[in-house]
Structure 1
Amino acid sequence: MSLLRLDGVEKTVRIPDAEPLTILRGIELDVAAGERVSVVGRSGSGKSTLLNILGLLDAPTGGSFAFDGVPVERLRGRARDRTRGASVGFVFQQFNLLSGRTALENVMTPLLYASGRAFWRRRALAAEMLDRVGLGHRLDSRPEVLSGGEQQRVAIARALVRGPRLILADEPTGALDVDTGATVIDLLEEVAAENGAALVVITHDPAVAARSASRYRLDAGRLRPDEPGVAESDEVAA
């Protein structure tokens, strides 16, 4: 069964004193558990909007979206928050680490909303994940003293510490050098494979996109299979 299924998904926003703006148009996407998917597209194509919908941070205004077989419109309020917290891990380009908090405290944050054993073992689980990403010696370091690559590894550890079924990575290599970026993708793919998680990478980097078995291009709000040599249109969504 599909982990994510989007049928004809649309996203339109209303703008004061202007015509409504359609950002996503008729999106069709089926992602199975354990699948590797990349979505490429230039700035303004709708990538961030699509990511927010996949991660249950936003809702479509048309079409249907099912998460693990459950129509998303049935998930409201706390039910949606619980599903997102337990099942979705986000890796952002800008890291979004909490300043003034140590690497360990940053990675522990998602576990504050866990229950049972995961909650009570949150410090040990966070330390284990940081060790896994090669930062076992930096547990007490704050973001401001970490390099860009180390901050990204903390962000990855935070995203993966609850063992999500879906990993969403938004330009995960955009702020990194080529070698560090390749290491980051290696790590995401490795952990996703071990946990049987689906990995969806939003990227502008063809080399990163090429590593996924399923590749798509988002252009002017429309999603289609990515075919090398096919140019994007000049139309820009948002």
Structure 2
Amino acid sequence: MTEAPLIELAGVARAARLPDDSVLTILSRVDLTVRAGDHLGIVGRSGSGKSTLLNILGLLDRPTAGTMRWCGEPIERISARRAARIRGRDIGFVFQQFNLLPDRTARENVAAPLLYGTAGEFRRRNALAAEVLERLGLGHRIDAQPKNLSGGEQQRVAIARALVRRPRVILADEPTGALDIDTGRAVMDLLQQAAQEFGTALVTITHDPAIAARADHRFRLDAGRLVPEAQGSAVR
């Protein structure tokens, strides 16, 4: 029996009503399938609907039209409380601005999601956090606070935090936007290697065509419409 996709969007739209009672369409008829082990790259300009799509994929927002399934289950059957548990357990978020706790060490930042994990994860949170940091080349920096880490090191801490519960999906929102080109390339190498090692699906949402082009499946988001790019074609 074939395993259901992790995420399925079919004809998904997202609209918002403005103060003057007009309707703003943010996403329109989006079709997307995310399977275990996939690496998807979605490129789009500011205002194209990238953040809204990320929020829907991460169960932070819901479509106003179309259908969405999580592991084969229609999203309307998943309560807000259960969606929060799925986010904590199965979805890892990597943000452009890192969003690290400034007064906590690298290990404490990575261990933070485990405070809400299983009893075993809670008890082993420091060891599990140290293990992931070691895998990402930060074993010597586990006790450093963010202010004492470079931009690339901070992003690696953010990646470790996203991976520590071994999520089924990583959603990376402009993961290299705050980094220089060389550091950004190194961080993407680490993110892809870590996703492959953990068997995690990776969805990268970016304005940078070069970052999107690294993915196995590439898409362009333009004015709320998601368009697949031909396999092997350049993303411009």
Which bin holds the TM-score, normalised by the shorter protein?
over 0.9
- 3-state secondary structure, aligned to 2:203: strand
User: Within 5 A, what are the aligned runs for 1:81-100?
Assistant: 81-100=84-103
1: CA distance, partners of 2:202 / 2:235: 24
| Number of residue pairs matched by the alignment | 231
Identity %: 62
Structure 2 CA distance for aligned equivalents of residues 140 and 94 of structure 1 = 21
Task: Name the aligned partner's letter for residue 34 of structure 1.
Answer: G
57, 68, 76: which one aligns with 1:54: 57
Amino acid corresponding to residue 134 of structure 2 in structure 1: D
SS in 1 for 2:102: coil
Aligned with 2:6: secondary structure?
Answer: strand
- Which sections of structure 2, spanning at least 5 residues, go unmatched? none
Once residues 182 and 156 of structure 1 are traced to their aligned partners in structure 2, the CA distance between those partners, rounded to angstroms, is: 14
1:149-164 equivalences in 2 (<5 Å): 149-164=152-167
Q: Given the alignment of the two structures, is residue 169 of structure 1 paired with residue 172 of structure 2, yes or no?
A: yes
Which runs of 4 or more aligned residues in structure 1 lie more than 2 Å from their structure 2 counterparts after TM superposition? 226-231
Aligned amino acid, residue 90 of structure 2:
S
* Counterpart position of 1:111: 114
Cα deviation for residue 229 of structure 1 reads: 7.3
Residue 47 of structure 2 is aligned to residue 44 of structure 1: yes
CA distance in 1, matches of 2:87, 2:59: 6
Output the CA distance in 2 between the equivalents of 1:43 and 1:162. Answer: 31
Provide the secondary structure at the position in 1 that maps to 2:161.
helix
Q: Which runs of 5+ in 1 are unaligned?
A: 232-238
TM-aligned CA deviation for residue 230 of structure 1:
8.4
Q: Is the 8 A contact 2:212 2:235 kept in 1?
A: no
Q: Which residue of 1 aligns with 2:133?
A: 130
Distance 2:235 2:93 in 1: 30
Task: Describe the shift of the 1:229–1:102 C-alpha distance in structure 2 as closer, same or farther (beyond 3 A).
Answer: closer
- State the alpha-carbon separation in 2 of the partners of residues 104 and 195 from structure 1: 19
Structure 2 match to 1:192: 195
- What CA deviation, in whole Å up to 9, does each residue of 1:149-175 have, x standing for no partner? 111011001000000000000111111
Say whether residues 1:65 and 2:61 are aligned partners.
no
Does the residue aligned with 1:137 lie in a helix, a strand or coil?
Answer: helix
Report the 3-state secondary structure (helix = DSSP H, G, I; strand = E; otherwise coil) of the residue aligned with 2:20.
coil
Residues 30 and 225, structure 2, Cα contact 8 Å, conserved in 1: yes
Question: By how many angstroms is 1:140 displaced?
Answer: 1.6
Give the whole-Å Cα distance in 2 for the aligned partners of 1:210 and 1:95.
Answer: 23
Give the CA deviation at 1:120: 0.9
Q: Please tell me the residue identity of whatever aligns with 1:33.
A: A
Equivalent residue number for residue 82 of structure 2: 79
TM (norm. structure 1) is 0.93
Deviation at 1:116, TM superposition (A): 2.6
Question: Any idea what the Cα deviations from partners look like across 1:29-65, whole Å, max 9, x if unmatched?
Answer: 1111111100001000000100010011111111111
Q: Does 1:206 align with 2:209?
A: yes
Quick check: 2:171–2:203 contact (8 Å CA) kept in 1?
A: yes
Is the partner of 1:89 in helix, strand or coil?
strand
